[in-house]
Amino acid sequence: MNHLPIFLDIRATRCLVVGGGDVAARKVRILQSAGARIVVVAPDLCPALNAQKTAGEITHIARGFDATDVAGARIVIAATNRKAVNTLVSAAATAAHIPVNVVDNPGLCSFIMPSIIDRSPLLIAISSGGASPILARLLRVRLETIVGSAYGQLATFMARRRTLVRQHIPAPTNRRHFWERILQGPVAELLLGGRMEEARTLFSQELAKPEGPARGLVSLVGAGPGDPDLLTLRALRLMQEADVVVYDRLVAAPILALCRRDAQQIDVGKNAGHHSVPQKAINQILVDLAAEGQRVVRLKGGDPFVFGRGGEEIDALVDAGIPFQVVPGITAALGCAAYGDLPLTHRDYAQSCVFVTGHCQKDGLALNWTALAQPHQTVVFYMGVTAVTTISRELIAHGLPATTPAALVEHGTTPEQRVITATLAELPQVVAREAVSPPTLLIIGEVVRLHDRWASRTRGQSPTALRATA
Ligand code: SAH
């Protein structure tokens, strides 16, 4: 180790910054966030520092640096663009045994500034010891995604309960086990998901019987429409922490590959009309796994609450008293719209957008066709391909022009994505002729004209876009 990493208490102490430019302003802000009183020595100040001076947030000594300025300072930072001045600052601080940092000049520093992830009271500081500040910064970005913004809340929650836990569990080893269980279990997960009330209740229950079996948790996680890049950070973290992953057919293989390697994977192969595992049985699997104390991720295509039967699964969990959370995902309509150049609304074409299921109930498609066949509206059909003949016929019968443009987005957001456009009247023939395969989304409305216009201008650059003429 070339440096000793320490966390310095500089609250209400005088810290000296030499230099009045943007770099100095950045250093001032960091020191202020740790509670320092700042003195800036510089002939001139940049606008940001000037504003701070006017607001009375810093003391400004308006002249060049003098070696006596370092007197009484807790730390000194030199951030001028003049090497001679920086050298002088370093020498003066060193002579007075005051820690000094000269920006971008490790040779003149007695301490270096790390990259910081601030989840106060939790702090993560990273340094490459001056070898590669960019490497440290990139590592910081990675850690930022793992240590979500709610970790500060988590740390505060734990801090407030330390005394209480010490009273309840006097033996240090038992106490350590208890905290490990809390931090790796549903209480922490609920806190990170913003479910404060439930976390508090569950914490009290855990504290009342700290020796009981570990509690399980079911996370209903939206996996998005197919492209793994569209996963949320929370989805990815949960997938990597899961004991068991219960997934549908809609979840793409590259997404499953991101789950923790030794997590048990259960395929419940749900597909419209072909439930290889009936919904009731899926509900029971989730309840049973969580009751065993497992961290269960219920991975669903798109968003769990958009035609995903997430509500039914939660009903079952609530009945069984199992803690749960829901992590939203990008639903097929949004993914297909973005990747297929199909804006769902547009000032000139559509002021509303409706998501509808085309999956037939036993008594056929019972939809409010009049409400769907409105002008200036985009209608998105999920599971609509099987019923495409009915959809085309009924929308036309209820007033939509037969020439209304429509788009079929097959395997949206994946490398196999295909966008086929046709008129509403042509749709059934086009579906048959193009041998459209699931999953496919059907988007109907004037906005589809934009796709065609853009495709005609960028022809050759969008190999997946096909114009079908019946
Ligand atoms: N919960 C999912 C929808 C489940 S219903 C979501 O929010 O996206 C299943 C239907 O979604 C499919 O029949 C298809 O119409 C649509 N769908 C899902 N993923 C799709 C994809 N990658 N491309 C096109 N349509 C998709």
Write out the chain in H/E/C secondary structure: CCCCCCCCCCCCCEEEEECCCHHHHHHHHHHHHCCCEEEEECCCCCHHHHHHHHCCCEEEECCCCCHHHHCCCCCEEECCCCHHHHHHHHHHHHHCCCCEEECCCHHHCCCCCCEEEEECCEEEEECCCCCCHHHHHHHHHHHHHHCCCCHHHHHHHHHHHHHHHHHHCCCHHHHHHHHHHHHHCHHHHHHHCCCHHHHHHHHHHHHHCCCCCCCCEEEEEECECCCHHHCCHHHHHHHHHCCEEEECCCCCHHHHCCCCCCCEEEECCCCCCCCCCCHHHHHHHHHHHHHCCCEEEEEECECCCCCCCHHHHHHHHHHCCCCEEEECCCCHHHHHHHHCCCCCCECCCECEEEEEECCCECCECCCCHHHHCCCCEEEEEECCCCCHHHHHHHHHHCCCCCCCEEEEEECCCCCCCEEEEEECCCHHHHHHHCCCCCCEEEEECCCHHHHHHHHHHCCCCCCCEEECCC
- Which pLDDT score is estimated for 462? 47
Beta bridge partners of 125: 116
224 touches ligand 1 (CB under 6 Å): no
| Distance from Cα 416 to the centre of ligand 1, integer Å | 14
| Distance from Cα 439 to the centre of ligand 1, integer Å | 6
Architecture of domain 216-330: 3-Layer(aba) Sandwich (3.40)
Architecture of domain 14-113: 3-Layer(aba) Sandwich (3.40)
- Which pLDDT score is estimated for 468? 44
Annotation says 248 is catalytic: yes
Cα dihedral across residues 319, 322, 328, 332: positive or negative: negative
Contact 154, 191 (CB under 8 A): yes
**Residue tagged 């005051």 (tokens):** 98
- Which pLDDT score is estimated for 29? 97
Backbone φ and ψ for 124, nearest 5 degrees, come out as -120, 125
339 touches ligand 1 (CB under 6 Å): no
User: Going by CA atoms, what residue is nearest to atom 3 of ligand 1?
Assistant: 307
Q: Which CATH superfamily is domain 340-467 in?
A: Tetrapyrrole methylase, C-terminal domain (3.30.950.10)
Contacts of 443 (CB under 8 A, 6+ apart): 333, 336, 337, 340, 342, 344, 378, 379, 380, 381, 406, 407, 409
Among 248, 382, 383, which residue has the most ligand 1 atoms within 8 Å of its CB, making it the best to mutate? Answer: 382
Active-site residue (options: 27, 69, 227, 270): 270
Backbone φ and ψ for 227, nearest 5 degrees, come out as -70, 120
383 touches ligand 1 (CB under 6 Å): yes
Domain boundaries, the chain: 14-113, 216-330, 340-467
| Distance from Cα 406 to the centre of ligand 1, integer Å | 17
301 touches ligand 1 (CB under 6 Å): yes
442 touches ligand 1 (CB under 6 Å): no
Annotation says 66 is catalytic: no
One pLDDT digit (tens) per residue for the chain, 470 residues: 889 999 999 999 999 999 999 999 999 999 999 999 999 999 999 999 999 999 999 999 999 999 999 999 999 999 999 999 999 999 999 999 999 999 999 899 999 999 999 999 999 999 988 788 889 889 998 898 888 888 999 999 999 999 999 999 999 988 988 998 898 889 999 998 889 999 999 999 999 887 767 788 999 999 999 999 999 999 999 999 899 999 998 898 999 999 999 999 999 985 555 557 899 999 999 999 999 989 999 999 999 999 998 999 999 999 999 999 999 999 999 999 999 999 999 999 999 999 999 987 666 678 999 999 999 999 999 999 999 999 999 999 999 999 999 999 999 999 999 999 999 999 999 999 999 999 999 999 999 999 999 988 876 554 444 444 43
438 touches ligand 1 (CB under 6 Å): yes
User: Going by CA atoms, what residue is nearest to atom 13 of ligand 1?
Assistant: 383
Residue type, 411: H
